Structure 1
Amino acid sequence: MFTTKDRISLERLGREVNVSVRDFQAERDFGWSFTPRIALGLVAWDILYQLASYHRPHESSPGEVDEVYRQACTELESLIERPAGDGPAKVVSMARAVRDVTALLDRAAEAFAEIERNAHDSGELRTILLSGDIYVRVDEFASDQLVRRLNERGIRVIVEPTQVLLEYLAHVGARELVRLPKGGPRGPNLFANGMTRLRGLLYSRVRRHHEWLPAPDIAGLLTESRQVLDRYPQGEAPVTVGSVLHHWNNGLCDGVVVVSPWGCGPALIAESLLRHRHEIPMLFVYVDGSPIDERRLNAFAFRLRREPVRTLA
């Protein structure tokens, strides 16, 4: 819907030749053989971004976390963009990429763990889940640096991974929304199963140093979501509701921030169902290009500190 609207707007402005419109989907221009490599890079980046968002309050000096994060992301990009070759060489290249990305995450996990070990008085820090719109929560510009603003207030942030929405869409059979491959009319969904196995491998390696890191749990998410929301509508509303309740009920966070674009339908559905859970410290943030109200962030941080810590350090 939004893609169609944007194309109409560009046509009316006479800019359709100069500007192309992309939505959230699998990249077909490189062919399906490149899809596993994109999935590998996406899961690895999800983990790196979560590590940085969580550990920034542990810094002994400003910029310490960002330096580790930037170096790791630069190396990840170079690994993913390596030529894959043709024929059987593609299989060998993918296996090599998985091995090298795993080694990269091992080094990054150790570096972030070292930052936490050198931190002072980290036991009183609070941890929140950042859920909501997939675009806004992972884009610092779109969210007006929301993660950093929370980090500055001594709040560790667990960012809901992009992987969650993709696995959810594959699980409920709505792959066409992002044009995921189906793997055959009756056969197993090879793409979804491959994503799950890859995610399990990478998360298990990083969790050796970071036990707090929650791996996506689609079954648990849907179990929580279906207590308050039917199977339909499909989209981000069930994901947001289920993820918030799953993380809270399993003691994985001290509070929740849900960030979304202004007027987003799934976000309004999620808020209407979650705002009545008064036991959960929760902040709903809608962004439209205006600066975030710092007073709301301060009030949210104050409420978190009034409550006892309920998460693992």
Structure 2
Amino acid sequence: MDTIIASPEDILSSMEANMRWVALTAVAPVAWGANYFVTHEFLPPDRPLYGAALRALPAGLVLLGLCRQRPHGAWWWRSAVLGLLNVSVFFVLVYAASQLLPTSIASTVMAVSPLAMMLIAWALVSERPGLAHLAGAAIGLGGVCLMLLTGAGGVSVPGILASAAAMLVSSFGYILTKRWNTGADVLASTAWQLTAGGLFLLPVAAAVEGPPPALSTPALLACGYVTLVATALAFAAWFTGLRHLPAGTVGLVGLLNPVTGVLLGTAVAGEVLTVQQVCGLALVLAGVVLGRPTRAGRRSRSQTPLQPLPDEHPARESSTCHPR
């Protein structure tokens, strides 16, 4: 079959579409970065299980109310597995790490996730990481270390293990979601995961932590942000990005999480942004840009549309929920 070089208009249109998916995916790490501040300032620090359950379950129920779809077939057990990995275990491990480690150390360990996601995606969904993705991950990780490692505070071995476990569990869960999400509505599968994870946590929280905590008005408003923005919206955007973009690109976009934390601390908490942090911020953004998706420049003379590179997996159906 004869081939020709794709027109500049086709290439430009393809790049613009990819960048829209990158922008949507970026909603998640930005919301999660702000979530650290909201949780630390307004929510009870001694109820991690209830905090995780009350974050996940209402968000899942909100999305279920929008989608009005129940799991079907294999999605009954898939929702349970993904809810356990991406929600129940992950939320609790992140809380434990944040309690045992300085924020800089915990955030730096989690910043290894782009590399972990690339390797797991290579094994599970045959997405071989490109040189640009690997270089972007290395540059971004260096930027995060420059931003966050100040030499202050001690290092707890259990805290390091909890943070590393959270990074590995979430990376594996996200790639498993990417593999299984083919043929499933993104918002519906996100709702099933959050609901399952919250249902797993709720009885454990009741058994371990007793009655639910009493929340003040500011704490209730903070719960609204954590539930609707940092969980329902953020996870829906994140899993949509995993469907439309290479895992390496999504992982690099996740580096915006610690960037948001640093900038929010400067703007709201009165922290000083040092020259070292500015240089680290520039490296992180350079790593994200370097790992952005690209399109092949060839297509057939027939009516076949421009084909994606092997490491791209565009959506196979709309991610919009349709009531049944």
The question of a shared fold, defined as TM-score above 0.5 by the shorter chain, is answered with no
More strand by share: 1
Choose between structure 1 and 2 for higher RCO, CA contacts under 8 A separated by at least 6 residues.
2
